[in-house]
Structure 1
Amino acid sequence: VFSQGIGRVQAVHEFEDQVFVTANGRLLVYDMEGQLVRSIGQSPPMHGKSWIYDRLWALGYLE
């Protein structure tokens, strides 16, 4: 369900009730209901979605 329509998935990690998916040079972050929370490597998600820089930084995705 998390990887539907995003192409080839390299890795999937679950952390603090979120799912981190790397695919096609993008980092996609989903909640446990499968809704996109954050996307890096493309345009920002729709208005109203949260930005979770602290968690991405803690996982080493941001410097």
Structure 2
Amino acid sequence: MLRHHCASSLYRNGVDIVAIQELLGHEWIATTMGYIHVHGTHVEDSWSRAADRSAARLSGVGS
């Protein structure tokens, strides 16, 4: 249970899944993916952050 919590927390805080795979010592990424549990709003939150980054980049264009 602790490994699942740690993997999920790392992923939620932006750690790359391949890095988590290495930390957990998994040979296959699919094994690591089984350890990661995301919050129900994960997709929406990720989309919102990406939109914010895009808007910030575009705000400097044409100035």
What interval of TM-score do these two structures reach, taking the shorter chain for normalisation? under 0.3
The structure whose residues are more often strand, as a share, is: 1
Q: Scaled by the length of structure 2, what TM-score is found?
A: 0.28
Please report the TM-score for the alignment, with normalisation by the length of structure 1: 0.28
